[in-house]
Amino acid sequence: MTETETETVTTATTPTPHAEYPMARATGCPFDPPPALREQRDGGPISRVRLWDGSAPWLITRHDQVRALLGDPRISADPSRPGYPHRDAGAKARAGTRQTFITMDDPGHARLRRMVTAPFAIKKVEAMRPAIQRIVDDLLDTMLAAPGPVDLVEAFALPLPSLVICELLGVPYEKHDFFQKHTKVLVRRNGDPQEVIAASEALIDYLEDLLTDKLAEPGDDILSDLATKRVATGELTAREAAEMGSLLLAAGHETTANMIALGTVALLQHPDQLALLRDGDDPKEIAAAVEELLRYLTIVHFGRLRVAVEDIEIGGVTLRAGDGVICAADIANRDPELFPDPDRLDLTRDARRHIAFGFGVHQCLGQPLARVELQVVYSTLYRRIPTLALATGVDQLRFKHDGVIYGVYELPVTW
Amino acid sequence: MRVKVDQPKCVASGQCVLAAPAVFDQDDDGIVQVLVDRPEAVHHEDVRESVAVCPAAAIWLEEE
């Protein structure tokens, strides 16, 4: 028997080893999901993958199945449950240290989430549109007064959502260096576990102090609301309220900032699509364009992590209680069953059913705010700077392959 | 078509209001409210979209 034949026999009798997750994107193709992820999907919409710690959770890639599972009460988002698929050692270490509604199941999740839903209602967020427009215009005035090239992330993409969430929460924006530094640690993959916990604690400590100040002197903001209505009544401890504030502060930063910067890179690579935003002025078309950019980029490119708490039959497979589950929204948002020609960025398509904000009871709380911010940004930036261009080659950009949220670290632009 | 909602299930995502503003609204906490429980035919497609995009499955229809 030759060596080759031996190998063939071995392969046939040994179960296929699970593919490692996450997979790497192809070089030169920064917007598309990893080729190995597509192959995994093409081999079957439900499969097993291997994580950093050797565990082998289920990977779900079909849009309808991801939605079904994320909406299933037999699935838990609690990382302290056995079998939960931790994304890295830092996240695993942090899992037991704090509980916010994002990591809780109902009814506890619903009780806490409802304490902060009011400011994100559609009409409340719509009422913020003029203020958001002013912030966008001011930031662009300042940026345009500087000699180019400038880093669009630092000058525009990050300050905008930061200013908005600080205003809503009642956090002084002057402290942005402090909380942006710690937020970056929390969204990095494979960070040092001690450093991750320290960053998380630093943010919570800071917000706990701020909540005490708000109790004495409340303003019209979310932290004041939590302090006076929840902490003062004993419904929440100051620590729990600070944890909730920390979640909102961190979530409001990296997500929208990366959508702005990465969206701009994508649009500059698709000038025909950018022209639709620059030349159109129908709010409905702009809103639709935002949905398509959310679908196409799906910046939360590490899947939604869950663990089955009961046996669940789906797609001919039985997920057993205690099995880890990764709902991969990025590849699900490229599902050709729902989005024909899914790899094409087409701002005129109806992309409303994308799951870039997740699905189920944990769907992003801040999505109405993110939408308005992105609608204002995308309808303003290219119109005010029609000659906007990259100051470097796309291949020179540093993409956030190592983050939970995908994007670019810097975006040098000229005009 | 008759629109039904389960307010305790609602997670205040506001998706229904964006898809069918003539039929859905939110209370002060963002929880779904039905403005018209028997919407006219012109709104039926939007209502079906609301059902499809509601992340919490808090909206359903009874066809009459």
**Residues A328-381: pLDDT tens digits?**
999 999 999 999 999 999 999 999 999 999 999 999 999 999 999 999 999 999
Residues of chain B positioned with their CB less than 8 A from the CB of A114: 12, 29, 31
Residue pair A108/A80 in contact (Cβ under 8 Å)? The answer is no
B57 touches chain A (CB under 8 A): yes
Residue pair A186/A93 in contact (Cβ under 8 Å)? The answer is no
Instruction: Give me the pLDDT at residue A6, please.
Output: 42
Task: Flag if A359 and B55 touch (Cβ within 8 Å).
Answer: yes
Residue pair B9/B59 in contact (Cβ under 8 Å)? The answer is no
Distances A176 to A82, A208, A226 between C-alpha atoms, Å:
36, 16, 21
φ/ψ of residue A319, rounded to 5: -85, 125
- H-helix segments, A128-192: 129-145, 152, 159-169, 176-187
Residues 11-40 of B with CB under 8 A from A: 11-14, 17-19, 26, 28-31
Residues of chain A positioned with their CB less than 8 A from the CB of B17: 122
The tens place of each residue's pLDDT in chain B, 64 residues long, gives: 999 999 999 999 999 999 999 999 999 999 999 999 999 999 999 999 999 999 999 999 997 7
Distances B25 to A203, A328, A368, B17, B31 between C-alpha atoms, Å:
35, 31, 14, 6, 8
Task: Flag if A117 and B12 touch (Cβ within 8 Å).
Answer: yes
Which tens digit of pLDDT belongs to each residue from A45-77?
Answer: 999 999 999 999 999 999 999 999 999 999 999
Q: Searching chain B, which residue's CA lies closest to the CA of residue A123?
A: B26
Determine the Cα–Cα distance for residues A110 and A120; give it in Å rounded to an integer. 15
pTM of the model: 0.94
Q: How confident is the model at residue A16 (pLDDT cuts 50, 70, 90)?
A: low
> Can the peptide bond before residue A85 be classed as cis, meaning omega within 30 degrees of 0?
no
**Partner residue facing A363 (CB), from B30, B31, B55:** B55
A367 touches chain B (CB under 8 A): yes
Residue pair A37/A404 in contact (Cβ under 8 Å)? The answer is no
> Which residues lie across from A413 on neighbouring strands?
A150, A390
Instruction: Give me the pLDDT at residue A8, please.
Output: 43
B53 touches chain A (CB under 8 A): yes
Q: Interface pTM (ipTM) of the complex?
A: 0.95
Determine the Cα–Cα distance for residues A82 and A320; give it in Å rounded to an integer. 12
Distances A121 to A132, A291, B37 between C-alpha atoms, Å:
16, 18, 21
Q: Evaluate if residue A126 carries a pLDDT over 50.
A: yes
Tokens of A308: 């089955």
